[in-house]
Amino acid sequence: MEQEVLNLLEELTGSDEVQTNSDLDLFESGLLDSMATVQLLLELDATFDIEVPVSEFERSEWNTPAKVIAKVKELQD
């Protein structure tokens, strides 16, 4: 699951740095913007059957690859 999340992030951001830097701030670095965030949530829903309403999305909880993986794990339980 972790590698699938990293692959999705790499595909969305166009950067392989997400594979090697789990603490990379995806928003501060400019790799994710609002449109890419919506796409990420849609892809995570389709891939892992988890639902994250955009209205409940907190950037600070999703701003690094490690946090995205942790949120997916949390939502799968």
Helix (H, G, I), strand (E, B) or coil at 2: helix
Burial class (CB in 10 A: 0-12, 13-18, 19+), 68: buried
Domain ranges of the chain: 2-76
Give the pLDDT band of residue 6 (cuts 50, 70, 90): very high
Residue 54: per-residue pLDDT: 77
Structurally, what CATH architecture does the domain formed by 2-76 represent? Orthogonal Bundle (1.10)
The pTM assigned to this predicted structure is 0.93
Mean pLDDT (the chain) is 94
CA distances from 19 to 14, 15, 37 (A): 11, 8, 18
Residue 52: per-residue pLDDT: 85
- Does residue 77 register a pLDDT over 90? no
